[in-house]
Amino acid sequence: MKDKNTLTRFLLEQIQTIAPDSDTDNLDPDEDMRDELDLDSMDFLRLLESISKQLSVNIPEVDYNKITTLNNMVNYIQAIAR
């Protein structure tokens, strides 16, 4: 699986596509990303959709609370992709 940096870059790119005006450059990777970037539930679901389609990683709904920050999400994806 991809290394942390590549994965982080990939996620930020996906967020940019979904919410083009979100300020991903200044995102604190340990803050709640939905709050920081003002992503609504639809944006978040679309992010999970692209992760599922492009990385073949299916994140179940019960795990949403484990992926609230960018760092958590990267770690989570790495862990289950391994």
Binding positions for other proteins, rule: CB under 8 A: 19-22, 34-35, 38, 40-42, 45-46, 48-49, 51-53, 58-62
In the bound state with other proteins, the residue whose beta carbon lies nearer, of 1 and 45, is 45
Mention every residue, 6+ apart, whose C-beta is less than 8 A from residue 69: 29, 30, 31, 32, 33
Distance from C-alpha of 45 to C-alpha of 68, rounded to nearest angstrom: 12
> To the nearest whole angstrom, how small is the minimum distance from the Cβ of residue 77 to other proteins?
13
Identity of the residue, 3 or 60, whose beta carbon is nearer to other proteins in the bound complex: 60
30 or 49, CB closer to other proteins? 49
CB 47 within 8 A of CB 67: no
